Every structure is written in structure tokens, then in C-alpha cells.
Amino acid sequence: MKEQINRLKMEIEHLDRAYKAGIMKEKEFSDNKITIEKKIKKLEQKMHTEEQSRKIISEILDEKPREKKVLKPIKKKVEQAIAKRDSEEKESEKYQDNNTGNVVIKNQIIKKQEDLELDGWSIAIYILTILFIMILLFFSYKYTQNAQITGKQVIIYEYSDYACEYCKQVQSTLKQLKEYYKDNIKVIHKNFPLEDLYHGTTLASEAAECADKLGRFQYYEKELYKRQQFLINVSYDMGELQDIASDLNLDMNAFKACQKSHETNINVLQDKEEGKAKGVISTPTFFIGNTKLVGAQPFDVFKYYIEQERKR
């Protein structure tokens, strides 16, 4: 729970940065900050409640439970049982066995009965304590785990360049988001090769589109980022791009034909023109609903804007 509070505090910090950078308007910043602060307050109250519950358990399991208020009713019953025994001992100390004439000490029989009674109370206390602990642990687990996320699916459009270092860095964050939201988000890749900065990067985008036609886009994209620095140094040589396809066991005849004809170039150009129309000037740039997010932002920033979109 402390981790959740720290994560919310980080979200406030990211909001503050976004506001200062001019990405977010003052009213939106203020409203969102108040909402997050309320969540933090609720979590802190919940932590306080759980701490009180732990103290109660500690009192129950203390080595001297007779001194605790929780067990006063039980202590009173035990004292009453002892007083009753003493009273009966005074009234009749002995009785004559009719068959043998032997003298039987009655208080021994009474003591055995009371010992059984006290043992019964001990077992009851033990069972109730275990049940209380199990119930507490159940609710503690239930309300501290992330609830299953269901509802509106959010589409994230990613405009990126395979030669861009920050595009490579943000891939781990996108993977984390997919694991967290599962089918409730969908990331759609859009080509935005910065040919002026990285010669040959358009060829990489075309090759990835060819791999997509053969049903292996995600694997090909992963290898492009993995071999990024080497491919930049060789200006995305077509032979090296073919080696990736071969390593992934793609249909090489189909891949080479696609690559040679540049038939996927139109897809790359369409993506780039679409991005320019939306105001994309650098990579990576993301669109979450109507929100434009620039750069390799951390998980919490993405999560904040995704949650805002899910509420719409």
C-alpha cells in the first residue's frame, strides 16, 4: 500500500512537470491533483485502520491475555467457576460410598469437571483467534491487490523511428502497460522515419511493414530495436534487414520481393503525413485519445492519461 501511495505522489510530480512545461492547463492540473490527493488520503486512512487491526491481533496473541480488555468476559467466567467450586467444597467435603464404604473426596471430582470446562474455553479462544486472523488476512489481501481492470479499451497511437534511441527506451514501458491493462489498451505503431537524421531508416520501416504482411511484425520490430546501433552504422543495409527476416524464419522469397518492390513505402509515407497533420515533429510521440504525449515518458504518466481517457 505504501508503494501505491508513492506511485500516486510520483503522478503528482509528473503532473506538475507537465503543467510547468505547458502541456496541461491550470484547471486540468488542479482538478487532477485534487483527485490524486484524495486517493492518497484514503490509502493512508486504510493503512491506519490495518495498523489498528494488527494491534488487536497482537493483544489477543500476547502471552498474558488475562490483562487485556478483550478477554475480560472470559476472565470473569473463569473467576465465577473457581468461586463456585470453593463454595461447594465448604458445603460438603466428603460423602460415603454406599458399596465399599470408602471415603471419596468430592472436590477432586469437581476439580476435574472444572478443568474440562476451562480446557473447552481455551479451545474456543484458540479457534476464534484463528478465524479472526484468517478473516483479517482475507480482507487485507482483497483490498490491497489491483482490481481486475475492465471496461473501455483505450487506443494508443505510437509515432516512432527505429533509429530513435528514445523510441527504443520506451518499448519496455509499453510492454509494462500491456501487461498491466491487458486487452484494455491497444498500441498501434505508426511509422515516422527521420531520414534527415538517420540515413536509411525509411528502409527499416518498409522492411517492418513487409514483416507485418507475413505476420511477424512484433518480432521484426523487436530485432530492429535490439540491433539498432549496428544498423545505424551500416545505414540500414538491405542485406542486414534480410538477415533479420531469415533469423525469424520468414518466407524469404516473399520478404525479398516485398522489400525490392518498395510496395510498403506507401504505408510508411501515409503514416508520416498523418503524423505531420497531427503536429508530430519528433519521436516518439503518442496520442491517447485527444492527448498528445511526447518523449519516453515513465509508466505513471502513461497510466494517468490512460485513466483520464477511460473516464470519458
Average pLDDT over residues 94-121: 51
Domain co-membership, 165 together with 293: yes
Judged against a pLDDT cut of 90, whether residue 91 lies above it is answered with no
What is the average pLDDT across 82-95? 56
Q: Which of 144, 173, 190 is the last residue of a domain?
A: 144
Residue 149: inside a domain: no
Is the pTM higher than 0.75? The answer reads no
Cβ-based neighbour number of residue 46 at 10 Å: 16
Q: What is the pLDDT at residue 47? A: 78
Sign of CA dihedral 271, 273, 276, 281: positive
304, part of any domain: yes
CA angle 229, 231, 234 (to 5 degrees): 115
| Site of grid cell 502541456 | 23
Are 251 and 167 within one domain?
yes
Chain mean pLDDT for the chain: 81
CB-based burial label for 137 (10 Å; 0-12, 13-18, 19+): exposed
Given the C-alpha cell 507475413, which residue does it identify?
A: 214
Residue 26 lies in a domain: yes
pLDDT band, residue 101 (cuts 50/70/90):
very low
Identify which has the larger pLDDT, 203 or 104: 203
Structural domain includes residue 33: yes
Residue-wise over 215-229: b if at least 16 C-beta within 10 A, else e? Answer: ebeebbbebbbebbe
**Inter-residue contact 273 to 294 (CB < 8 Å):** no
One domain, residues 101 and 43: no
pLDDT band at 10, cuts 50/70/90? Answer: confident
Spatial contact of 264 and 213, defined as CB atoms under 8 Å apart: yes
Judge whether residue 154 has pLDDT over 60. yes
**Is the omega angle on the peptide bond into residue 65 within 30 degrees of 0, that is, cis?**
no
CATH number at residue 262: 3.40.30.10
Expressed as residue numbers, the domain containing 242 is 154-311
Asked if residue 70 belongs to a domain, the reply is yes
The verdict on 23 and 50 lying in the same domain is yes
Across 102-124, average pLDDT = 56
Residue 221 scores a pLDDT above 50: yes
**Is the same domain home to 193 and 261?**
yes
Do the domain assignments include residue 223? yes
Give me the number of domains the chain comprises.
3
More reliable by pLDDT, 153 or 62: 153
Are 83 and 230 found together in one domain?
Answer: no
Q: Which three cell numbers stand for residue 52?
A: 489498528
Q: Is residue 181 part of a domain?
A: yes
pLDDT at position 45, please? 78
At residue 252, the pLDDT reads 97
Residue 15 has pLDDT above 70, yes or no: yes
Boundary (domain end) residue, out of 86, 119, 144: 144
Co-location of 80 and 117 in the same domain = yes
Let me know whether 285 and 138 are in one domain: no
Convert 85-113 to b/e letters by CB count within 10 Å (16 or more is b).
eeeeeeeeeeeeeeeeeeeeeeeeeeeee
Residues 165 and 298 in one domain: yes
Are 115 and 203 members of one domain? no
- Do both 159 and 76 map to the same domain? no
Biggest CA-to-CA distance, the chain:
119
Distance of alpha carbon 30 from its chain centroid, rounded? Answer: 26
Which residue, of 59, 83, 107, is where some domain finishes? 59
30 with 53, same domain: the answer is yes
